[in-house]
């Protein structure tokens, strides 16, 4: 078993029969074989499997670009959407102080179509030294392309073309696409998104690593955690391999009619890890009318929101707790002379101990209420542990996708709204679809 991450599944035992678990185990072990042989659907997108090693080769270049950004900037604007920003944001927010950005503030843009947000952002940037990292394989995805067009013009007006070029880093395709063309013409420093890595699996490529290193996070530790986890996940013994356990329970619950998984983090800093997880699992499994619906809560916050439902609503859920075992937490409950609030029984104890009891109490309560739950325990809150966790989840969803009979590496459904949007906006080339849609809309 890994030292960085372990699975605890005692609160699942009531909900699944041994036969259900056995059948799931067989499917997951077969899926592991397919993944390791690289013979399954979408095997042209398995580059993510090797990134923990191959990414090391790029770290010197990443580190140098990151240091340059930190030296001449107060703010780094990361322009990207979906897999082009969620991995970086998940890692950065997991490992940063929530109130103190430690020298370089990282802000995000191009992840929606809100003009007011961009206008406010430019006001916010006015007095600050700004760098920008634009991340897009094609350079024509509407949201980041719109934001980049505006922010680039704003930077060129402010800094002039030459200085702007020094302040922009492009992460894009090696040879083709609009952003590659602009980067080459303008002389931006650039990094490559490999062809064999999909967006939601790209956190260990420069897509994630450049912003992560610029934010001052221990990027090397992150890769080390992923590398160690990679070794552990090669094993074929379910007792020693946490991904076989997690994927087995997921597969069994889904087939037993539990179509919703709630990932319940007990640490607010992990919020964007759960957002990243939702994309990874939702896009990989949610196709062909199948797949677990991924939802996330942040506890104990959401015990006072979604807790009632999970305890007592429709019994179509299972839960995965996400918790850090050893927190570097020196905040203790102080004693009070009056004890009006009745908390003196906790005086002198660490907040992390209270939080751990909340988690344990919740796990037992939800099990009793009919929501089985397993727990992913991270050893600590280091970059190494986060790296291990992300690689663990990437592997898990590959196994579950294969066991489900879908291609876990495509996302055909993401294109549908875009085509409709282009047609409605009158983009050249979409004239026929535009006519069809307008007819549909006016008929109602």
- Taking the least distance from each CB to a copy of itself, the nearer of 60 and 441 is 441
Cα separation, 42 vs 107, whole angstroms: 33
CA 119 to chain centre: 27
Closest CB to a copy of itself among 33 and 315? 315
- Going edge to edge, which strands form the sheet with 105-109? 105-109, 75-79, 130-135, 168-172, 189-192
Binding mask 199-228 for a copy of itself (x = CB under 8 A): x-----------------------------
Stretch that binds a copy of itself, among 53-61, 210-218, 276-284, 372-380 (CB under 8 A): 276-284
Q: Which of residues 53-82 bind a copy of itself (CB under 8 A)?
A: 81-82
Cis peptide before 329 (omega within 30 of 0): no
Among 57, 331, 348, 432, binds a copy of itself (CB under 8 A): 331
Angle at which helix 242-255 crosses helix 383-404, to 10 degrees, equals 40
Which residues, numbered 243-272, are part of the site for a copy of itself (CB under 8 A)? 259-260, 267-269
- Virtual torsion, Cα 243, 245, 249, 252, nearest 10 deg: 100
97 makes contact with a copy of itself (CB under 8 A): yes
Can 112 be counted among the known catalytic residues? no
- When binding is defined by CB under 8 A, the residue of 140, 162, 195, 405 that contacts a copy of itself is 140
Of 54-62, 221-229, 235-243, 411-419, the window that binds a copy of itself (rule: CB under 8 A) is 411-419
- Residue 175: φ, ψ to 5°: -130, -40
Is 128 tagged catalytic?
no
Beta strand 373-380 with 5-8 is antiparallel
Q: Minimal distance in Å, beta carbon 227 to a copy of itself?
A: 27
Q: Which residues in 175-256 belong to E strands, given as ranges?
A: 189-192
> Residues 92, 277: contact at Cβ < 8 Å?
no
> Whose CA is closest to 15, among 277, 396, 409, 374?
374
| Cα end-to-end span (Å), the chain | 59
**Rounded CA separation 403/29 (Å):** 9
Candidate list 315, 326, 405, 431; residue touching a copy of itself; CB under 8 A: 315
Residue 306: other Cβ atoms inside 10 A: 18
Total residues at the site for a copy of itself (CB under 8 A)? 131
Query: Is residue 283 annotated as part of the catalytic site, yes or no?
Result: yes
Query: Least Å distance between CB 216 and a copy of itself?
Result: 15
3-state SS class at 377: strand
Interface positions, 284-313, toward a copy of itself (CB under 8 A): 285-291, 293-295, 298-301, 303-313
Whole-angstrom Cα distance, residue 291 to residue 65? 40
Q: Which is nearer to a copy of itself, 140 or 234 (CB)?
A: 140
- Over the window 356 to 395, marking each residue x when it contacts a copy of itself by CB under 8 A and - when it does not, the resulting string is -xx-xxx-xxx-xxx-------------------------
Among 19, 60, 342, 348, binds a copy of itself (CB under 8 A): 342
Query: Is the distance from CB of 244 to CB of 28 less than 8 angstroms?
Result: yes
Selected catalytic residue, list 283, 285, 319, 394: 283
- Least separation in angstroms between residue 345's CB and a copy of itself is 6
From the list 266, 276, 239, the residue with the least C-alpha distance to 325 is 266
Q: Are 89 and 272 in contact (CB under 8 A)?
A: yes
Which is nearer to a copy of itself, 63 or 434 (by Cβ)?
434
Task: Supply the minimum distance, in Å, between the C-beta of residue 54 and a copy of itself.
Answer: 25
Residues 174-203 that bind a copy of itself (CB under 8 A): 178-179, 181-182, 199
Give yes or no for residue 124 binding a copy of itself (CB under 8 A).
Answer: yes
* Closer CB to a copy of itself, 188 or 228, in the complex: 188
CB of 258 to a copy of itself, least distance (A): 12
Exactly one of 94, 172, 323, 355 binds a copy of itself (CB under 8 A); that residue is 355
Between 240 and 336, whose beta carbon lies closer to a copy of itself?
336
> Please, which residues bridge with residue 319 across strands?
262, 373
Give the catalytic positions in this structure: 283, 304, 418
């Amino acid at each position: 078993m890994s030292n960085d991450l372990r699975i605890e599944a005692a609160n699942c035992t009531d909900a699944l029969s041994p036969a259900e678990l056995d059948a799931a185990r067989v499917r997951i072990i077969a899926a592991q074989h397919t993944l390791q042989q690289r013979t399954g659907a979408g095997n042209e997108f398995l580059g993510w499997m090797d990134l923990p090693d191959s990414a090391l080769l790029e770290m010197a270049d990443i580190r140098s670009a990151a240091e340059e950004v930190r030296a001449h900037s107060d703010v780094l604007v990361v322009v990207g959407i979906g897999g082009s920003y969620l991995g970086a944001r998940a890692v950065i927010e997991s490992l940063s102080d929530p109130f103190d950005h430690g020298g370089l503030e990282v802000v995000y843009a191009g992840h929606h179509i809100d003009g007011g947000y961009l206008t406010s952002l430019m006001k916010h940037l006015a007095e600050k030294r700004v760098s920008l990292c634009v991340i897009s394989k094609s350079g024509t995805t509407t949201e980041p392309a719109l934001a980049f067009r505006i922010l680039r013009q704003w930077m060129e007006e402010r800094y002039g073309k030459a200085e702007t070029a020094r302040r922009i880093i492009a992460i894009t395709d090696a040879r083709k696409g609009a952003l590659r063309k602009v980067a080459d013409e303008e002389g931006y420093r650039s990094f490559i998104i490999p062809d064999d890595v999909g967006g939601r699996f790209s956190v260990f490529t420069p897509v994630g690593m450049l912003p992560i290193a610029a934010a001052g996070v221990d990027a090397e530790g992150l890769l080390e955690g992923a590398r160690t986890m990679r070794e552990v996940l090669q094993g074929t013994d379910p007792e020693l391999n946490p991904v076989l356990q997690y994927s087995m329970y997921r597969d069994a619950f889904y087939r037993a009619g539990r179509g919703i998984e709630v990932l319940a983090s007990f640490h607010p800093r992990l919020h964007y890890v759960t957002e990243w997880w939702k994309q990874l699992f939702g896009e990989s499994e949610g196709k062909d009318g199948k797949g677990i619906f991924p939802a996330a809560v942040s506890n104990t916050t959401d015990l006072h929101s979604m807790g009632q439902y999970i305890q007592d609503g429709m019994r179509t859920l299972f839960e995965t707790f996400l918790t850090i075992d050893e927190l570097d937490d020196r905040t203790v409950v102080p004693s009070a002379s009056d004890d009006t609030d009745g908390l003196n029984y906790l005086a002198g104890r660490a907040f992390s101990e209270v939080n751990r009891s909340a988690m344990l109490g919740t796990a037992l309560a939800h099990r009793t209420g009919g929501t089985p739950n397993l727990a992913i325990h991270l050893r600590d809150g280091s970059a190494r542990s986060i790296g291990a966790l992300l690689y663990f989840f990437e592997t898990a969803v590959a196994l579950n996708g294969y066991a489900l009979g879908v291609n876990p590496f495509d996302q055909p459904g993401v294109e549908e709204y875009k085509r409709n949007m282009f047609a409605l906006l009158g983009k050249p080339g979409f004239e026929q679809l535009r006519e069809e849609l307008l007819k549909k809309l006016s008929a109602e």
